[in-house]
Structure formats: structure tokens, C-alpha cells
Amino acid sequence: DAKTTQPNSMESNEEEPVHLPCNHSTISGTDYIHWYRQLPSQGPEYVIHGLTSNVNNRMASLAIAEDRKSSTLILHRATLRDAAVYYCILRDAWDQGAQKLVFGQGTRLTINP
Amino acid sequence: DTGVSQNPRHKITKRGQNVTFRCDPISEHNRLYWYRQTLGQGPEFLTYFQNEAQLEKSRLLSDRFSAERPKGSFSTLEIQRTEQGDSAMYLCASSLGAGLSPLHFGNGTRLTVT
């Protein structure tokens, strides 16, 4: 499975933007970049995904580098509820198997009031 | 919104006992996944069903573990002869098996083996 590298932890302040980086230098042409987050005492939840173009949804934005070797999850205005572990995961669109998610360690985001 | 439901939320058992967990996926989701998560680690894949067929099992799933999904609806995960190393959060997820559909996770069953 293609691997991703994320910082172990990050800290930000409430109501400020947060940029969560992810490196995936061995990404293949058919790998989609997915982000999930896990709030305390809950299962992971889907945040956003993209292939080449930047993507926006109600939760976040995903900025993908032109060479696709890195990406950044952007929370435009962090709230205390955004404190969670954020996982950057590659999923191969050509994989005919389980399409399972392979989680790394993720980035633990702390939001200061 | 009836999400993925897992029962029980917590289970404490003594070493050597058998335990069974249940997962009710989102209706009409044909794919169901089991994961295990220990403290400070990301979830680890255990097994996956498409409808009632178990199509993939991780090497983490030892002979003491068995999962079923009769009739392609709910699923059970049984651990026989539990060991202290089995203590973890067991997460279930489901998805609509079309392309890269997002996985929807339950809030897990926390197992403590004493």
C-alpha cells in the first residue's frame, strides 16, 4: 500500500485556519487522497477526498500539489469540535479488492480556546 | 440518520472467555469491515465482507477470531479464549460498494480482558 507521512501533532487556536500537511511521495496515478478524522471516543469519519484538483466541501478544503506528492487539509475556521486525529489515506481506484482503508498514525490536532 | 450501530459499547471479560460483538451496518450498504484499534494507534484492518461473503482477512485475524455476516445484513465478530493482548477497540464500518465510497464507522466496542 502506498504510504503517507504526517506530523504526529499540531496545535492551533479557535477560529483560526488550520493547515494539516500530508506527504505521499510514492503516490500512483490511480491513487485518490482521502482524509478521515477521529474525534475522541468515536469511530473515524470521512472528511474529504480528491485526485488532482483542489476540492471543497462543508467540512474542509483539500489542496493537492501539482506533482501530487503532497496535499494539505484546510480547516478554514477551527472550532473546539475540530480537535481530533486526522488521517491522510491513499485509496487505489483500480483496486478490485476490499477498497479497505489503511490507516497510519495520523496527526493529533489540538485546538486552544 | 441511522448510522452504523455496534453492541455492546464496552465489554470486560476474563482471560480465556469467549466474547461476541455485533455490528449493524447502514441498511443497503453491501460492504462491511472490521477494524481493531489500540491506544495511540490508527485502526488496523481485520476483515471485510461483501454481502454475506467474507472476501479478505488480515494476518492479524488469528484462528481464535471468527466473523460472520449471515444474510448480508448484521455481522458478528467472535473472539475465543481471549488473551490480554486482545484488549482494544473493535470498530465496524460499512460502505456502498461502488468505487471509492466513503466508509461509515460505528463508535466501536471497547474490550478489556483481565
pLDDT tens figures, A12-53:
999 999 999 999 999 999 899 999 999 999 999 999 999 999
Residue A99: which of B41, B100, B108 has the nearest Cβ?
Answer: B100
Peptide bond into B8 cis (omega under 30): yes
Q: Tell if the CB–CB gap between B106 and A43 is shorter than 8 Å.
A: yes
Mutate to test the interface with A, among B105, B107, B109, B110 (most CBs of A within 10 A): B105
Distance CA A48, CA A37 (A): 10
Confidence at A2, pLDDT banded by 50, 70, 90? low
Closest to B5 in 3D by CA, of B35, B27, B37, B31? B27
CB atoms within 10 A of CB B50: 17
Q: Tell if the CB–CB gap between B55 and A98 is shorter than 8 Å.
A: yes
pLDDT at residue A72 in the model: 98
pLDDT at residue B71 in the model: 87
Closest to A86 in 3D by CA, of A70, A109, A64? A109
Reply yes or no on whether the pLDDT at B98 is more than 80. Answer: no
Contacts of A105 in chain B (CB under 8 A): 41-42
- CB–CB of A1/A104 below 8 Å? no
Query: What pLDDT, in 10s, does the model give residues B52-72?
Result: 999 999 998 889 999 999 988
pLDDT at residue A92 in the model: 87
Q: Does B38 touch chain A (CB under 8 A)?
A: no
Distance CA A79, CA B3 (A): 24
Using CB atoms and an 8 Å cut-off, which of residues 27-86 of chain A contact chain B? 32, 34, 36, 41-46, 49, 85
Reply yes or no on whether the pLDDT at B74 is more than 80. Answer: yes
User: What is the β-pairing status of strands B10-13 and B109-113?
Assistant: parallel
Question: What is the helix (H) or strand (E) element at residue B75, kind and residue range?
Answer: strand B75-79
Closest to B83 in 3D by CA, of B35, B20, B13, B21? B13
Determine the distance in angstroms separating the CA of A60 from the nearest CA of chain B, rounded to an integer.
16
pLDDT at residue A94 in the model: 79
pLDDT at residue B1 in the model: 56
| Rounded percentage of chain A residues whose pLDDT exceeds 70 | 96
Q: Does A8 touch chain B (CB under 8 A)?
A: no
Distance CA A71, CA A69 (A): 7
Average pLDDT score, chain B = 94
